Amino acid sequence: MMNPYLQVAIGGAIGSAARLGIYRAIPAQGFPLATFLVNVAGSLAMGLLAALLAQRGGNWAPLLLTGLLGGFTTFSAFSLDALTLWDRGQGFLAAIYVAGSVLLSLAAVCVGMAVGRGIFA
């Protein structure tokens, strides 16, 4: 069995290169279509692969889920985590996770940009 860190590194390199290819193929023109498509496609692939690995097992999760799809889009991991909470009957916690992740991430980007502009301006 391959070292899981090596699996993540290999998958991450492939996923990140795939994301760059999509960004270059679909340039932004007023709406971040490439990012939108990557997030939706990555989430679809995450669901398919998570279901497949749950049924068939194996040691492919680090390579495919964490590495490939993590490099392609971390939104897919976020989506799977939210759905897992929902499936476990923790709907309230899933809602807090979704709202908190989105709102705090947006706030963190704003703070980071403000601090970065103050430091690097």
Round to whole Å and give the CA distance between 107 and 51: 33
Q: Enter the pTM of the model.
A: 0.79
User: Binding site annotation covers 84?
Assistant: no
Encode pLDDT of 82-108 as tens digits.
Answer: 999 999 999 999 999 999 999 999 999
Domain boundaries, the chain: 4-72
Dihedral angle, C-alpha 91, 96, 99, 105, nearest 10 °: -130
User: Binding site annotation covers 70?
Assistant: yes
Mean pLDDT of the chain: 93
